[in-house]
Amino acid sequence: MDAQSQWTGLDAGRLDRITDHIERNYIQPQKIAGCQVMVARHGHQAYFRSFGHMDLSRGKAMRDDTIFRIYSMTKPITSVALMQLYEKGLFQLNDPVSRVIPSWKGHRVWVSGDGDQMVTEEPKRPVSFRDMLCHTGGLTYGSMLAMLGAPDSGNPVDKAYATHNVRRGDGQTLEDFVQALSRVPLRYQPGERWQYSVSTDVCGHLIEALSGMPLDEYFQKNIFEPLGMVDTAFDVPDSKLDRFAANYRRGPDKKLQMIDDPQQSAYRKKPTFLSGGGGLVGTTADYHRFTEMLRRGGELDGNRILGPRTLELMHRNHLKGGGDLGTMAIGAFSETAYDGVGFGLGFASTLDEVTSGSLGAGDYYWGGAASTIFWVDPKEDITVVFMTQLIPSATFNFRGQLKSIIYSSIVD
């Protein structure tokens, strides 16, 4: 056994099957332009490799320090940031969000009908901070689903998002956004179901309101600087543009089509809407430092981001009655499978290996719209970060395939 295998308990030869799998199944047939895979165990890097290209049209090879759009992998960072304020006693999980956003006191819950004929009822309880962290508050992604690579469900509540101008684009602010949401009915009674939603953008507003700081400044001071996440931000400055990857989708002919050219990208300037739900860019190295902090119970290199008990609370299952997403979820759009999977305060978690058909019970994770993924497994002491740029994320099951290879490489 080589030294690396002794440190990590991972068989280096078996782990290197990742290389053949990615090259043969994705890079050579150009199903993706390129990607990076980082695997660490017990705090030691076991595998890191860059594949393919960051920009096919310009012939630019994937760099180890490539900057990616991480989209919804922003959500765990936002959730950690909000829970830092929980640790300061600024809110309790069951507090109503209307304590901070008074206009939310008028929320109604959809029952039936559409448009002017819509029938609504009073919520049985207010939408809580826990609901925003868990996606159990009755919010949806509304008419924005199509932009995220998923078909609009056509539910009357989703249509109401467009009617009331609920947008996350440039020119909007988090304050505009939450006020528009106050005019939209909830899709279901708070806490009764789960639906992937704009809730984490609301968490971004709550961070600003409770801390008195813009979200980007809060992230920089309280997460990025302490963790040494030097390339994670809401925009890509000119000095780093050469490292910014192109973003792609798979066309009807199954060939890659560029959908966001780094040279023309909206990420070249700071947005007015600081999306806590999906606005960040960053590197594999940066996100690895975030996952290492999680693995170590909230601390890295002497900088404590969260208390260990707070973090344990975050990745426990908070769904009603201890249920899984298979029984609680509305809609098929999210960054996880549903059966045997629970959801906590910003993370999904594998509850049962048999039901989920996946190893790693007790792990917690999330992904992004461009097929990026990460997970932390406290039992096996593993962290994994996978970066690529392919929308939508449901195109290929990278997480499942990597788990099969990585977990079968554990030999201790």
Q: What pLDDT digit, counting tens, does each position of 134-163 carry?
A: 999 999 998 765 555 555 567 899 899 988
**Which tokens sit at 133?**
């962290």
Kindly tell me if the per-residue pLDDT of 344 is higher than 60: yes
Q: Is 207 exposed, middle or buried (0-12, 13-18, 19+ CB in 10 A)?
A: buried
pTM: 0.96
Kindly tell me if the per-residue pLDDT of 74 is higher than 80: yes
How sure is the predictor about 294, in pLDDT bands with cuts at 50, 70 and 90? very high
The average pLDDT across 104-117 equals 93
Q: How would you classify residue 254: left for phi > 0, otherwise alpha for psi between -120 and 50, otherwise beta?
A: left
The answer to whether the beta carbons of residues 216 and 270 sit under 8 Å apart is yes
Kindly tell me if the per-residue pLDDT of 330 is higher than 90: yes
The pLDDT score that the predictor gives to residue 340 is 96
Give the DSSP letter string of 263-303. TT-GGGS--SS--TTT--EE-HHHHHHHHHHHHTTSEETTE
Give the range among 61-70, 99-108, 323-332, 370-379 with minimum mean pLDDT.
323-332
The pLDDT score that the predictor gives to residue 104 is 97
Whether the link from the prior residue into 392 is cis, omega within 30° of 0, is: yes
> Using CA atoms, how far apart are residues 16 and 48, in angstroms rounded to an integer?
10
Kindly tell me if the per-residue pLDDT of 133 is higher than 60: yes
The pLDDT score that the predictor gives to residue 4 is 64
Kindly tell me if the per-residue pLDDT of 206 is higher than 60: yes
CA distances from 369 to 8, 33, 68, 273, 336 (A): 30, 16, 11, 18, 11
With a pLDDT cut of 70, the percent of the chain lying above it is 96
Q: Is 89 exposed, middle or buried (0-12, 13-18, 19+ CB in 10 A)?
A: exposed
What digits encode the pLDDT tens for the residues 356-370? 999 999 999 999 999
Interaxial angle between packed helices 74-87 and 199-211, expressed in degrees from 0 to 180 and rounded to the nearest 10: 40
Strand, helix or coil at 151? coil
> Using CA atoms, how far apart are residues 243 and 21, in angstroms rounded to an integer?
25
The fold of the 3-72+214-299+354-407 domain, in CATH, is Beta-lactamase (3.40.710)
φ, ψ of residue 39 in degrees (nearest 5)? -125, 130
- Domain residue limits, the chain: 3-72+214-299+354-407
How sure is the predictor about 165, in pLDDT bands with cuts at 50, 70 and 90? confident
